[in-house]
Amino acid sequence: MATALITGATAGIGRAFADLLARQGFDLVLVARNEARLKLVAKELHDKHSVAVEVFRADLSRYDECAWVEQRLADTARPIEVLINNAGFAVRQRFAKGDLLAEQTMFDVLVRAVMRLSHAAAQGMVARGSGVIINVSSVAGWRHTSTYAASKAYVTSFSIALGRELRNRGVKVTALCPGFTHTEFHQRAGMDMKRLPEFMWLDADALVAQGWRDAQRNKRISVPGRQYQALRYLLKFWY
């Protein structure tokens, strides 16, 4: 049975990917920082879908712990067919007067880890002639408003470039670019989203299903939701 590795897998978009792939029969490697929550999610998925679930507690902002996940991705005896780079968070501050360590930590998770894990996974996928990499980016990548947006711009551009590089090697690479989504993300970032109209919110399960379909079609960019598909083109002219 094929195996998928998902970072940030215990909640939100990552958990939705875990549910979707488990339903399709994939064995799972779930990566997150909270080991207790990882084990709880793993048990739920195993009991419900009868798939093997491996838990991997790692903080991807740490070089050594990110390296542990890279080693798992590079293990030819236990190949990873699908990589979902989903782990992430936002820093709510002005850059010039903000906490530089917080910015560095965010950069390490959103950019460095995505690059390194994609590299580790791509080598084995190319050797086997098959594989899927989905890098969870954001429509924020088309808005030049913050270091978070800059990081997501990198993820989108990187994914497009990697997809072109591997298009004839049997490996599919997609940047999944959602907008506002009902998850824990904004609460953790301390953002008050009460004024955002309901029509701007996406459902995590629905956007993940769209992203997975687009990845199977080898689309470079997946933008779930008509409102955000329209916004994507408007932002190209605005900025």
pLDDT, one tens digit per residue, over 29-40 is 999 999 999 999
**Nearby residues of 99 by Cβ (< 8 Å), 6 or more positions away:** 91, 93
Q: Which of 163, 5, 165 is closest to 81 using CA atoms?
A: 5
Residue 142 pLDDT level (bands cut at 50, 70, 90): confident
Helix axes 147-166, 113-128, angle to 10 degrees: 10
Q: In whole angstroms, give the CA distance from residue 42 to residue 234.
A: 41
Are residues 176 and 135 in contact, defined by beta-carbon separation less than 8 angstroms?
A: yes
Q: Match 């978009």 to its residue by tokens.
A: 13
Domain with residue 36: its CATH number is: 3.40.50.720
Active site residues: 148, 152
pLDDT tens for 22-70 read 999 999 999 999 999 999 999 999 999 999 999 999 999 999 999 999 9
Give me the percent of the chain exceeding a pLDDT of 90: 73
Total domains present in the chain = 1
Residue span of the structural domain in which 154 resides: 3-238
pLDDT in tens, 105-135: 999 999 999 999 999 999 999 999 999 999 9
